[in-house]
Chains A and B, each alone.
Chain A
Amino acid sequence: MAITVPANGGSNSPELERLERRIAQLCRFIGRSPWVFHINSGSCNGCDIEIIAALTPRYDAERFGVKLVGSPRHADILLVTGPVTNQSLERVKLAYEQTPEPKMVIAVGACPTGGGVFYESPFTNAPLDRVIPVDVYVPGCPPRPEAILQGVVLALEKLVEKLKGGSEK
């Protein structure tokens, strides 16, 4: 290849490699194709850009089979950003209900995890877990793409546990 992009300045690249290996292992477990649907519930677009960054050539989540899909019907994992404004409240609930089982919900960013600067605002329903069940919280304003990848790792771990537990019963 003519152009080589240095991965992350070399400082925390072992950490990144470890995460990548872990995702690859987990993806093998659940059919290797977690499809992601992104719900923007009134976010400022900071987290959304970081999610896109996790899919760009630098991090290339597609090599694990992760695909950003356009419809909650196709999704396995919901990435929710934003403080769940009153306008988007019903839509978030609807999108959650439209997602087929088994599904995972990841709250990305400070707003859906705890409210952030919108804490106790009358126009938002800030912590996302008051609206729909949340499996993984990724704090940060905005979180780094590595953090989002780690969130996906945790979600897949939880999903694997859930599936194993379900099969033993």
Chain B
Amino acid sequence: MAMDVMGNIVYPTVGLLGLYAFVSLASLVWEGIDRKLVARMQRRIGPPILQPLYDFFKLASKETIIPSTANYMFKAAPVLALATAIALLAYTPMGFAPILASKGDVIVFIYLLTLISFFKIVGAISSGNPYAKIGAAREATVMVSREPAMMLAIFAIMWRIGKLGVPKPFSMGVFYVHNIWEIGTPMSFVGAVILLYVFTVWLASEIEVGFFNIPDAEEEIAEGLLVEYSGRYLALLKLTNAMKAFISASLVVAIFFPWGISGYFNLTGLSANVADLLFHTLKVFALLFVVQSVFRAVTGRLKITQAVDFLWKNVFLASLVGSLLIAMEVIM
């Protein structure tokens, strides 16, 4: 009985808290690296790498203004969004199978990832600011356009990997049992490359950079969703955004580049997890460098109609083709 309490409650809780501390730090540091890299690409010196941490502490120490038009959800939404992001960490593959991995947890993952955007939308609508409402409408539009492509692709991949024989089908842990490149047929290889493109675009639209910086357009609608937030709540939302970027990138890394390094060093137990987590973080930074820094530096924002067109006519179509190619030899 005592073992059960240790194994089922204490270890997962401690692991989740450790992951939360690590990911919040790593994702904020990544924001700093990203700003520095983009500045170097524009031949500037750029802010120090710890700049997002300074911003976070400054915002946390500033006055927090609640507009008179806001209702109680305005205050609740940033806290709920951060809580959702923390809960999401328990279902995120981080170089090892998620802490609460179980059969079918991919649905929980997608649900929680969408819930973060949902809380941001609710908070923005509750502020009563017209700019925030435009931002919320745009966020909702982009959200319903980007998720179907991702969902179709991830279910196809998981179903196909499940056919290779895994203990818990449709769990986030399956990527560390078999990966997408092990299916082995030429068709599935082409399909996997197409799906890599789908997931890259999805990641860019999830973290809203480059083409997809539409809901938070600073120059156009005064930072959209965030316009009325100040002080502590803004700090929470900034942290949530950074964590969400890290978590979304983790998903893509786990699907396409799941290899760990602990096997090469004969590590076991906790040290293996730590080594894999650090290596996973490196891979996430490398992926975000391409999808966030380079993409942000070389492209501008699309109109909302263009973005919806692009996500349905191009990305969703690619997702459909890729999923069919992956699943082909099992279906036929």
Contact A73 B230 (CB under 8 A): yes
Contact B47 A71 (CB under 8 A): no
Q: How far is the CA of A100 from the CA of B39 in the complex (A)?
A: 28
Contact B39 A63 (CB under 8 A): yes
Residue of A nearest to B39 (CB): A62
Contact A62 B63 (CB under 8 A): no
Contact B45 A60 (CB under 8 A): yes
Q: Is B61 an interface residue (CB 8 A)?
A: yes
Counting chain B residues whose Cβ lies within 8 A of the other chain, the interface size class is 20 to 34
Residues of chain B contacted by A57 (CB below 8 angstroms): 42-44
What are the interface flags for A100-134 relative to B under an 8 Å C-beta threshold, 1 for contact and 0 otherwise? 11100000000000000000000000000000000
Q: Is B223 an interface residue (CB 8 A)?
A: yes
Residues of chain B contacted by A3 (CB below 8 angstroms): 43
Q: How far is the CA of A63 from the CA of B231 in the complex (A)?
A: 22
Q: A5-B43, A33-B51, A62-B39 are in contact. Are A100 and B223 (CB under 8 A)?
A: no
Q: How far is the CA of A65 from the CA of B43 in the complex (A)?
A: 16
Whole-angstrom distance between the Cβ of B324 and the nearest chain A Cβ: 43
Whole-angstrom distance between the Cβ of B172 and the nearest chain A Cβ: 35
Residues of chain B contacted by A32 (CB below 8 angstroms): 48, 51, 54, 58
Contact B54 A69 (CB under 8 A): no
Q: Is B185 an interface residue (CB 8 A)?
A: no
- Which residues of chain A (34-82) have a CB below 8 Å from chain B? 35, 57, 60, 62-65, 69-71, 73-74, 76
Q: Is A10 an interface residue (CB 8 A)?
A: no
Counting chain A residues whose Cβ lies within 8 A of the other chain, the interface size class is 20 to 34
What are the interface flags for B218-249 relative to A under an 8 Å C-beta threshold, 1 for contact and 0 otherwise? 11011100111111001000000000000000
Contact B44 A63 (CB under 8 A): yes
Q: Is A166 an interface residue (CB 8 A)?
A: no
Contact B44 A69 (CB under 8 A): no
Q: Is A165 an interface residue (CB 8 A)?
A: no
Residues of chain A contacted by B47 (CB below 8 angstroms): 62-65
Residue of A nearest to B238 (CB): A74
Q: Is B12 an interface residue (CB 8 A)?
A: no
Residue of A nearest to B222 (CB): A70
From B44, B55, B57, B131, give the contact of A60 (CB < 8 A).
Answer: B44
What are the interface flags for B256-289 relative to A under an 8 Å C-beta threshold, 1 for contact and 0 otherwise? 0000000000000000000000000000000000
Contact A100 B64 (CB under 8 A): yes
Residues of chain A contacted by B39 (CB below 8 angstroms): 60, 62-63
Contact B226 A74 (CB under 8 A): yes
Contact A73 B55 (CB under 8 A): no
Q: How far is the CA of A2 from the CA of B234 in the complex (A)?
A: 39
Q: How far is the CA of A160 from the CA of B288 in the complex (A)?
A: 37
Q: Is B303 an interface residue (CB 8 A)?
A: no
Whole-angstrom distance between the Cβ of B60 and the nearest chain A Cβ: 10
Given A60-B46, A65-B55, A100-B230, 18 more A-B residue pairs with CB atoms under 8 Å apart are A1-B43, A30-B58, A31-B57, A31-B61, A33-B54, A57-B42, A60-B45, A62-B47, A63-B39, A63-B48, A65-B54, A70-B223, A71-B226, A73-B228, A74-B223, A76-B62, A100-B64, A100-B65
What are 11 pairs between A and B in contact, CB < 8 Å? A31-B57, A33-B51, A33-B58, A60-B45, A63-B45, A65-B55, A70-B219, A70-B221, A74-B226, A74-B234, A76-B58
